[in-house]
Structure 1
Amino acid sequence: MMQGIATMGVYVRDQDEALAFYVDKLGFQAHTDARNGDYRWLTVRHPAQPAFQLGLFLPGPPMHDAATAQALREAVAKGAMPPLVLAVDDCRAAYARMRDAGVEFTQEPVERYGAVDAGFRDPSGNGWKMIEARAADT
């Protein structure tokens, strides 16, 4: 019986740089940092979702050959990967806090579709949407 998704990965260009970004700027917690030869399994988790891990993975062996790894690095750097979504209680306050922490935003908070959202990228180019859901009018 399946129990749900435990880990989702993003490709990063530098695992130490990514770890610092996700922990120091976004408030995630380091979870697993294990090595097997040159391969490093590195995950973080959000304090509000301790059962779910975000893997910070380098494209390359043992999962990819050199050509595939290079293509993946280029796609991430161009922002071509699907965005991840971070749910927040107050998008404008989270934007101000994260901006002050050094997060570079691609979109300031905008109100639309019944929510407020903003966009940013991690140091590797992975796109994020930060969304504050609005309560439905009754």
Structure 2
Amino acid sequence: MSQGVEVVGLYVRDQDEAFAFYVEKLGFRVHTDVRNGDYRWLTVQHPDQPSFQLGLFTPGPPVHDAATAQALRELVAKGAMPSLVLVVDDCRAAYDRMRARGVEFTQEPVERYGTVDAGFRDPSGNGWKMIEARR
């Protein structure tokens, strides 16, 4: 029997805003975008990882009540959620390319631990660490 992780969910404040950020600024592709009433299942994929999807979900019904959804939105906006990691071939080149597309970085590329890394946040406040793959 084969098993694996296919989708990891990420809370965002606005799915259209997240769609624009992940597709237009980071270069991800849309995998699934379907609606069921007010609920929207939106997933994107990195072009080099076709078997993995990042779910861009808003806190709220049908999963969360109003109070829980608001608490989650506030935590995300404060950057309290764990950082995600994006691996790139050349951190400095990716930093320059992404800055030109309007990505706001929280940390410029720094060389440490035998590699180069930088930090940025998505429009909802989710933290990302961009790390250069070791050669």
**TM-score (ref. length: structure 1):** 0.95
When structure 1 is superposed on structure 2, of 50-59 and 126-135 the one drifting more is 126-135
Pairwise CA distance, 1:36: 1.0
Which consecutive unaligned segments of at least 5 residues does structure 2 have? Answer: none
Pairwise CA distance, 1:2: 4.5
2:128 alignment partner in structure 1: 128
- The list of structure 1 runs, each at least 4 consecutive aligned residues, that deviate by more than 4 angstroms after superposition, is none
1:50 aligns with 2:50: yes
2:9 alignment partner in structure 1: 9
SS in 2 for 1:70: helix
Amino acid at match of 1:12: V
- Identity, in percent, stands at 82
Aligned partners of 1:88, 1:73: CA distance in 2, in Å? 29
1:83 alignment partner in structure 2: 83
SS in 2 for 1:124: coil
Which consecutive unaligned segments of at least 5 residues does structure 1 have? Answer: none
Aligned partners of 1:122, 1:114: CA distance in 2, in Å? 26
Pairwise CA distance, 1:133: 2.7
SS in 2 for 1:123: coil
Pairwise CA distance, 1:38: 0.7
Amino acid at match of 1:50: P
1:74 aligns with 2:91: no
Pairwise CA distance, 1:37: 1.1
How many residues are matched? Answer: 135
Aligned partners of 1:133, 1:40: CA distance in 2, in Å? 34
Pairwise CA distance, 1:134: 2.6
1:92 alignment partner in structure 2: 92
**TM-score (ref. length: structure 2):** 0.98
Aligned partners of 2:40, 2:24: CA distance in 1, in Å? 20
The alignment's C-alpha RMSD in Å is 0.8
